[in-house]
Amino acid sequence: MTNINSIGLDKDKSQALVTALNTLLSSYQIQYMNARGFHWNIKGREFFELHLKFEEIYTLLLEKVDEIAERILTIEGNPLHAFSDYLETSKISEAKGISDGTQALETLLKGYTTLIAMQREILAQAGDAEDEGTAALMSDYIKEQEKLVWMLKAYLN
């Protein structure tokens, strides 16, 4: 019996990637909800500017949630889909009761730093599994988020 899945990847290595991608998916879901909450609850002199920025951020995060879940399915895994699983698995914590712009931005910055580190690990793991699809996805996310981290830090300074 072969240990290769329908897209030509080692089943064991793919399953390990599914586990890592589900943790990433969970972390994205929490980062998304944090950004959404900041969008709703932001107050202060920077309201108009940050309200729009948070909407831009949560829209990008939601796109990635869908892409990650579909990648998990593509490599023959099952994406998590319950918030209880997300809360248990995420490496990003829920942010509650934040309406201050600086605190919201610092929270998002910390979350993106976490996501980038996770994606670097998955990128290496995908390379080992010869999973170009997952590697390309992680590479694209890292590039985009490195720029966003730079911009968030510049805004905060």
CB 75 within 8 A of CB 18: yes
The amino acid sitting at 139 is: S
pLDDT of residue 2: 84
Along the 157 residues of the chain, how does pLDDT read in single tens digits? 689 999 999 999 999 999 999 999 999 999 999 999 999 999 999 999 999 999 999 999 999 999 999 999 999 999 999 999 999 999 999 999 999 999 999 999 999 999 999 999 999 999 999 999 999 999 999 999 999 999 999 999 9
What span, in angstroms and rounded, lies between the C-alpha atoms of 110 and 115?
9
Domains, the chain, ranges and CATH?
11-156 (1.20.1260.10)
pTM of the shown model: 0.97
